[in-house]
Structure 1
Amino acid sequence: MSGTSMNVSVHGTVAQGADGPMLVLSRRLDGHDTFLKGSLELGEASVPVRILTLDDVTVLRPADQSGLPPVGTLWQGSLDLPHGLRPRTVPPDLQETAVREGRSLETLDEAELRYVLTFLSESTTTAIRQARVAAIVSALPIATRSSQ
């Protein structure tokens, strides 16, 4: 996938979260990766954000709170999503485990592969990554062997 970005017009309300102000979108962000980092253009300010899409809401957590409107303020801006900048190749540890367990990674569609790679990339320790690899592989279908 090429290194492209996508801009999405968004609007919502500034709310107070446990860790400081957060930007709650008025509509859930559908059709895009969740748990991404992006950049929100708010007037003259460009605010790096982490995008959290849950069941029925999308929240933007700003990395820098300067330039944010006050809590309770309605806002609108442009969200820059860095689609295509993430690697789309299966890492060796996942590939090797899948082969060893006789599971097929080829059955994953593009969205599922994106989710799997994101899930692995957010591992904070070796033990967590190994557990995530095991969970992913156990959910894959058994690889079929061609009869030649």
Structure 2
Amino acid sequence: MSWVDLVIVTGCFASAAFGAMRGFAKETLSLVTWIVAIWVAWNFSWVVTWFLGEWAAAPELKVWTGRTIIFVVVLVAGGIAGQLVGSLIRHSGLSGTDRVLGSIFGLGRGAIILGLAVLVLEMAGLDQDPWWREARLSPYGDRIADGIRHYAAVGGLYLQEQELI
């Protein structure tokens, strides 16, 4: 096992441990909150820009200020909801199941981070270096990166059809 394999295994186990500490419900709610925050900030920045009035002369600055305000507000609301859900689960007796499912979620997150790291290696031209090619886990990282590339392309086509980008 090479040092690259040890880094991959350590990263995945650390992500699984973090997922187990937070639990599945909080992990899932956190992911959903980030996605909703991005979507709401992108699509409803006009609501906040209207309130900004003449605060900023540049329209781009008003739009990005509105997006930032909405993004932060949604993240704070999601964090509060996460704390409430975590408290409910702790008192319901489901905390063991929640932690096991959270660790599985964390392993999945670790695998996605591995795939994203492989994409960065490819862009930097380091994916053909011996230290990466000789790692036993590199084929798995390559397959995950291929999956990310595929689904990103499908998502991009969907967004173009919906005229969202």
Determine which structure has the larger helix proportion and give its number. Answer: 2
Question: Which TM-score applies when normalising by structure 2?
Answer: 0.24
Question: Which TM-score applies when normalising by structure 1?
Answer: 0.26
**Larger-Rg structure:** 2
Determine which structure has the larger strand proportion and give its number. Answer: 1
Relative CO higher for 1 or 2, CA cutoff 8 Å, sep ≥ 6? 2
